Chain A
Amino acid sequence: MLKSGPILAIAILLGPVLCGLLATLLPAFGYLPVLGQSDFSLEFFNQLFQQPAIFQSTLLSLTTGLGTTFIALGVVIAFVSGWYGTRSFARLQHLISPLLSVPHAAAAFGLAFLIAPSGFLMRLISPWATGSSRPPDVLILQDQMGLAMVAGLIAKEIPFLLLVTLAALPQTQANQSRYVTQTLGYGATTGFILTTWPLVYRQIRLAVFAVIAYAASVVDVAVILGPSRPSTLSVRLAQWMSDPDISLRFMASAGALLQLATVIAAIVIWMFLEKVFTRLRNRIALQGMRFSKDRVLKLASFSTLTLFVVLVFAGLFVLALWSVAGLWTFPDTLPQNLSLRNWTRTYPTILSPLSTTLITGFCATAIAIILSLACLEREARAGRKNGNNALLLIYLPLIVPQVSFVFGLQVFFLWLGLDASWVALVFVHLIFVLPYVFLSLSDPWRAWDKRYQFMAFGLGASSNRVFWKVRLPMLLKPVLVAAAVGFAVSIGQYLPTILIGAGRLPTITTEAVALASGGNRRIVGVYAFLQMVLPFLAFALAAAIPALLFKNRKGMRAAP
């Protein structure tokens, strides 16, 4: 069983991704017999590169992807380094964790309504301060540099990066390092970056790559907040994919490969930045620069983080208000009347999608946890230090943009006669859930202090007994957090659910996106609220269970 773990995981992930990619690759080079094309050619790449502003769109995807990651990670580093171990840190941490579960589209919608020229903030100050009962005609959303979009993405990626960082921190000696560096006169931030950060970053590097890939290929957030002249590459790609002119599929496939190349380019650039950063850090270390006065930076990181948290929460609050709003026109600060109509109307239709969401999320997460544990335990027993290289392939689904292989995957499932079945739905969710679960779990798991294991062996325990009695209980918290992350990922899946489920297995998210296409803020409010509550419950459980189980173990509680 244990031996087949890694092989099974790779087969489950790699098979569909490769089949899906193949079904994208072939049309990109002109091969899709059912549409009457079976000659290999580069014609569709030609067609792609002749699309107006295609270079601009690609560049936009690249810069927003890198910009989002750079700022989000910067804020996380600055915040963790300045505040780790303080009470404010713990307080903010509790506020931020639930944000991870907020679906991207819901967060983006909330943000959009907050900052739009006719949005909530403007309504707060109109007409008494602006002197106008009409909103100003200024371009805040969908600005050409994609700043609104980057802001929306950052607000969602900060919680993710913070969470993986927190999961990695206990495997370092952050507190001891801080005492040492502070005694030597280093500022908290500098001390942290010089001593603890390298150990943390080593563990979260793949998560950072996933953020780059996600931000460079996201569709829903880009549609809501991103520029439209031109749109990002991913948005245009999604448009071509769903164009009634089916022959555009060929060019869309070529575009999917361009998207893939863009993501790879972004990661390569990032790796270069890593090198620059390391050199800079080494220089600071060698010259013994202390930067002991870092109050401003500490305050800046704290307020930036707080700002993003407040923005997302305020956006969600306003969406919740929309879900019970009657008529609400500009410049009214609050709706003219409230009604439960949107909720009562939604209630009877929500039960079936709700149960599909829960069952699929639970099954996919459970399988992902078991597979990840099997892989990691197998790796540990085989004694490989930095993990089986093949396991790196597990991250393929996170780095290959979804649009570029789901269509092919759909064909593949049809061919197996498994489309629109529960098996297929759980399986396709698993493809996306497994990497996130593995990503969340592997670093704390690998960084576990092996001396506990040696001690247990010394006391005569078998490998299995060590696993069940020592390692698993000690790492229960990361396991549960990984499960919550997996559950949240499953809930957020749109494209795979709609394509593989053929719309016959609707989830909260497929319903929400279908309704969001109608732009009705009231209904979006209802669904966004539901979408948010489910993963929030999962995270609450992940926090509560270890706390309950280990309430009489001081050492287990100390690990944050």
Chain B
Amino acid sequence: MRRIFSTLLITSALALGTTFSVKAADPNPKDWKAVEAEAKGQTVYFNAWGGSPNINDYIAWAGSVLKERYGVTVEHVKLDDTANAVATVVAEKTAGKDKDGRIDLIWINGENFAAMKRQELLFAPGWADKLPNWQYVDVENKPTITVDFTIPTDGLESPWGGAKMVFFHDTAREKAGKLPNSTSDLVAWAAANKGRFSYPAPPDFIGSSFLKQALTELATEPAKLLQPVNKDEFSEVTAPLFAMLDKLHPNMWRSGRAYPQNYPAMSQLLADGELDIIFAFNPSEASSAIAQNRLPNTVRSFTFSGGTLGNTHFVAVPYNARSKAGALVLANFLISPEAQVRKQNPNFWGDPTVLNVNKLNDAQKAEFAALDLGIATLKPEELGPMLPEPHPSWMVEIEKEWTRRYAAAN
């Protein structure tokens, strides 16, 4: 036993010794040539949710382009929950591993970004807006690119795609004429169509989004939601939300005694004929599901005329990443017109672009214009107004309150 412990001590001492080796200077995106030169030969561990084969294929494609053009190898680390990547960086910081971390790039936004920014787990501010392709980014018309769930991004994360809440229904089962046009409408619709609506239980991202949508619509002073939550006012501000839920739940799928696990499970329930109305954060999700035979081609989209939530998702570099230069090259490629037009194509992914198409050259504009967004996708002008995301602290408190009220049945 004693011998084993001494061996352990020696190995650990050796391991600690290596961490004190010379620290290379961080890449500077202003000197882009140097960044590309440094990136050559690096391997970028891109930690991104791996639940969708489409998205996985898209990342694999981006990786093959990077390998060919810049000599950068991209390894997609497929997460089932982005919070695990946050946990990894926390664990590394706990262990004092301040360089050569295991994660080079994270697909992130909202609460996870807020948490990492607060804990100072991210690579230097201001790199994102110095990327060469930043010139095409639609900073002017998409406020969610610089403010992520009310938290300023400060160039700590680079935009990757847009999101807007839309609803789907199957025209073979539910006629377009009587579709709800607001959350209150939806409650009435659910009363008339018992058991045909549900939402994933928070803290699932899509489920939480439904609560935020309802809160934003129902709050008497929506401006308060953009500020950090004030605990004294919490119950007053959220009272309409919970009154609505109390009314909605008995008329929901399984009378609210069970919830779909997440969006894909909810979408499966639409295909199974268990649910009639579902919602997603990607406007072209229904079209790509139809293209892949996951949903019948009678599914169509609709939205609320009063507006729905919208946000942007990003990529960020942990403070202790090993291949920062490679990560920057990848982040820059992801906002190139070439990568963005492929991403918006529902045959590959169908995620709305973060670029301002008017800033592109004619050939690139034509490529975007030629995209067939799919049979069930609303045109950009049909998507309706965009409601801002509340400050992340609201969701933390709402999830707690939701759990307190509804976590146990009866």
Contact = CB atoms under 8 A, between A and B. Distances in A.
A416 B258 contact: no
Main secondary structure, interface of A, reads loop
B15 A515 contact: no
A420 interface: yes
B67 interface: no
Given A34-B90, A414-B91, A502-B88, A511 B50 contact: yes
A345 B53 contact: yes
Contact of A8 (B4, B50, B51, B75): B4
Contact of B268 (A327, A342, A345, A519): A519
B75 A511 contact: no
A229 B407 contact: yes
Given A142-B258, A515-B78, A523-B53, 12 more contacts: A117-B274, A133-B273, A228-B258, A242-B83, A244-B82, A330-B271, A330-B272, A342-B53, A415-B12, A503-B78, A503-B102, A520-B53
A337 B292 CA distance: 12
A458 interface: no
B92 interface: yes
Given A34-B93, A519-B261, A513 B396 contact: no
| A244, A245, A506, A519 — most chain B CB neighbours (10 Å) | A244
A463 B96 CA distance: 50
Contact of A329 (B14, B53, B78, B296): B296
A345 B293 CA distance: 15
Contacts of A410: 88, 91
B50 A52 contact: no
A56 B403 CA distance: 13
B115 A118 contact: no
A275 to B, nearest CB: 34
Nearest to B11: A416
B409 interface: yes
A25 B18 CA distance: 29
A521 interface: yes
Contact of A517 (B45, B80, B274): B80
A517 B262 contact: yes
A559 B45 CA distance: 52
Contacts of A118: 269, 272-274
Given A229-B258, A513-B80, A519-B265, A414 B274 contact: no
Contacts of A414: 91-92, 94-95, 97
A519 B18 contact: no
A258 interface: no
A342 B53 CA distance: 9
Interface in B106-120: 110-112, 114-115, 119
Interface residues of A, number: 78
A43 interface: no
Given A52-B404, A229-B257, A514 B80 contact: yes
B184 interface: no
B112 A416 contact: no
B273 A407 contact: no
A245 B407 contact: no
Contact of B15 (A141, A417, A516): A417
A241 B87 contact: yes
Nearest to B110: A244
B155 interface: no
A139 B254 contact: yes
B271 to A, nearest CB: 5
B50 A327 contact: no
Contact of A503 (B45, B194, B259, B267): B45
B273 A521 contact: no
Interface string B243-254: 000000000011
Given A34-B90, A229-B258, A504-B77, A329 B271 contact: yes
A389 to B, nearest CB: 16
Given A349-B56, A519-B261, A229 B273 contact: no
Nearest to B202: A239
A144 interface: yes
Nearest to B119: A246
Contacts of A134: 173, 273
A135 interface: yes
A7 interface: yes
B274 A518 contact: no
| A329, A342, A349 — most chain B CB neighbours (10 Å) | A329
Contacts of B94: 32, 34, 411, 414
Nearest to A240: B203
Nearest to B85: A503
B312 interface: no
Nearest to B115: A244
Contacts of A227: 258
B4 A11 contact: yes
B272 A419 contact: no
Interface string A134-148: 110111011010000
Interface in B263-311: 264-265, 267-269, 271-274, 293-296
Given A134-B273, A411-B94, A520-B53, A502 B83 contact: no
Interface in A402-416: 407, 410-411, 414-416
A518 B51 contact: yes
Contacts of A387: none
Contact of B274 (A51, A135, A246, A337): A135
A243 interface: yes
A510 B95 CA distance: 24
Contact of B203 (A116, A243, A330): A243
